[in-house]
Amino acid sequence: MRIDAAHPSIVRDYWHVILPLIKKACARSNGEYDPDLMLDHILDETWVLWVATDPDIDPFPKALAATRLEEWPGDKRVCRLIFVAAERMEDWQHAFRTIQDYARREMCDVIRTEGRAGWQRCMNWTPKAFIYEVTI
């Protein structure tokens, strides 16, 4: 399994192939994202789309992730993992090192994401906060 950053021109050409996984990510976003918005961010290069494949078995994506770089106060640089959409996350999570290497090259201090509690079991990251919401 490997994970690579997808060039925006490739994303546009293969959008129909990755759209099912994009829709899966949107379904988990509580309305924060939709496919058109995601495509816009990828094409204008404010997000990097990462595509996990197993080319020896199947050329179709097994997982997608998106990141963006953020500057925080105090000169803290953050690589924000915006979403992950995967089939069998345990099969590809080792490829996540590619995103960590990217964040290091970009001089990031941390990679940060929001997600369900199951992420803790899969990724073994340190929880820093909870997100609360009230419908009004």
Whose CA is closest to 22, among 74, 82, 71? 82
Name 11's Cβ contacts closer than 8 Å, sequence gap at least 6: 18, 39, 42, 43, 49
The structure tokens listed for 64 are 């997608």
Residue reference for tokens 């494949």: 53
Neighbour order of strands in the sheet with 110-113 = 2-6, 48-54, 58-72, 76-86, 110-113
Could you give the CA distance from residue 98 to residue 116 in angstroms, rounded to a whole number? 22
φ, ψ for residue 26 (rounded to 5)? -60, -40
Do 61 and 16 form a contact (C-beta atoms < 8 A)? Answer: no
Domain ranges of the chain: 2-123
Q: Decide which of 3.30.365.10, 3.30.43.10, 3.40.630.30, 3.40.140.10 is the CATH code for 2-123.
A: 3.40.630.30
pLDDT at 28: 80
pLDDT at 120: 67
Could you give the CA distance from residue 63 to residue 115 in angstroms, rounded to a whole number? 16
What global pTM score does this model have?
A: 0.85
pLDDT at 71: 96
pLDDT at 42: 95
pLDDT at 15: 92
Do 31 and 24 form a contact (C-beta atoms < 8 A)? Answer: no
pLDDT tens-digit profile, the chain (136 residues): 788 999 999 999 999 999 998 998 888 888 888 999 999 999 999 999 999 888 788 778 888 999 999 999 999 999 999 988 877 666 667 777 899 999 999 999 999 888 766 666 666 677 777 666 656 7
Do 41 and 69 form a contact (C-beta atoms < 8 A)? Answer: no
Could you give the CA distance from residue 48 to residue 67 in angstroms, rounded to a whole number? 5
